[in-house]
Amino acid sequence: MTQILDLNTWSRKDHFHFFSQFEEPFFGVTVNVDCTIAYATAKAKGISFFLHYLHKSLQAANYVPSFRYRIVEDQVWIYDQVNASPTIGRADGSFGFSYMDYHEDFSEFKVIAEKEMETVRNSTSLFPAGSGDCVIHYSALPWVDFTSMSHARSFTFADSNPKISFGKLTESEGKRTMPVSIHVHHALMDGFHVGQFIERFQELLNEA
């Protein structure tokens, strides 16, 4: 379900109208998150580290209301939940876009995600799956310990979905960290809201 945000009572009304006029309304940050506990937990449970942190990031995104906001025909729609549209790599080095519904329970999410990953890997299409309106565009670059990130974008295509990218997991003195790039639409949120997401994501990664 969705509801339409009343712009007239929204404290960010002016921000919305201002940044909506930009050719490039997205802004981004790159941070390093501590994955020491998350990696150990995934390995101890015998589950995919990728799916483990992907699910944690969806939990964090659904926790912050602005990550569920989308611009539809000059209105702000509030969705009940945000889902995932991650890129899935194939053995030949190509990738395809996937779609995974969010479930708070990891075991339910895991079943859906693994089935979707198998579908993409057995396809040669860039778009083997459909996608909902309220998603986060995810990508993973497990080969690169990046410090910044940019994205290919078509400015003529209406898009207000956040874009989150995960980099290479590295270890130093027993601590495992991973770079995370977060790009969001400035008409829908500010640095404060991105900070809320990062804080919540780190809290979830620290859960054993």
Is the confidence at residue 128, as pLDDT, over 80? no
Q: Give residue 171's pLDDT band: very low, low, confident or very high (50, 70, 90).
A: very high
Q: What pLDDT is recorded for position 31? A: 98
Q: What is the pTM of this model?
A: 0.96
Q: What pLDDT is recorded for position 129? A: 67
DSSP bridge partners of 89:
95
| 34 within 8 A of 205, measured Cβ to Cβ | yes
Q: What pLDDT is recorded for position 158? A: 87
Is the confidence at residue 155, as pLDDT, over 90? no
Is the confidence at residue 1, as pLDDT, over 90? no
- pLDDT tens-digit readout, 8-62: 999 999 999 999 999 999 999 999 999 999 999 999 999 999 999 999 999 999 9
Is the confidence at residue 131, as pLDDT, over 80? no
What average pLDDT does the structure give for the chain?
Answer: 96
